[in-house]
Amino acid sequence: MKLPLLALCVGLVMLTGCGTTHVRGSQDVQLSRDAHWLVLPMVNRTTTPQAGLRAQAITEAVLAQHGVSQVESYRQQDGDGLLFEAASEASQRAMTQWASQRDGDYVVSGVVHEWRYKTGVDGEPAVGVMLEIRDGKGALLYSGTGSRAGWARQSLGETGQRVIDKLLAPVLD
């Protein structure tokens, strides 16, 4: 009788450690779904190419999933989009100018600090993202950071979507 109970406890401990999410963000912020949202590419601080662009696309989809109807994403204009990174000074100037011309109520930006599959037998996905939401004048309304290590057979995109959803849901629900 004791052996099955011990096996069950060990199994539960192992399961709870596999798909963990950690999120921290500003408290008591409620933003309008009816507002005009602008989504900028995330600064990519990983070794994974285009992680910031992937996080931007997921952010746009998650906002729509939560009922935001007016979402506009920044797209690079000059054809060098394959290796576009939002971290350069020129990119930051271009994005700031684009956002100021759009008259958005909220501007979402951020940093991707982890976007990879862990090495090892199972290759679990690992994602870490910081998001900021500012008003049209640049004042910070919300800041949150989240990370997740997913299951062995889970995709990196799904893991990223879970993290970004956990960051945005509290300000929209």
Q: Could you count the other beta carbons within 10 Å of the beta carbon of residue 127?
A: 29
Domain 20-172 CATH class label: alpha beta
Tokens for 70, please give them: 């007016």
Question: For residue 163, what are the CA distances in angstroms to 20, 80, 104, 157, 167?
Answer: 10, 28, 24, 10, 6
CA distance 52 to 103: 23
* Single-letter amino acid code for the residue at 29: V
pTM of the model: 0.82
At 150 the pLDDT is 86
On whether the CB atoms of residues 148 and 159 are closer than 8 A, the answer is yes
List, for residues 64-110, the tens digit of each pLDDT value. 999 999 999 998 766 555 455 677 888 888 898 999 999 899 999 99
Residue closest to 163 by CA, chosen among 55, 42, 49: 55
List, for residues 26-76, the tens digit of each pLDDT value. 667 899 999 999 999 999 999 998 999 999 999 999 999 999 999 999 987
For the chain, which residues make up each domain, given as ranges?
A: 20-172
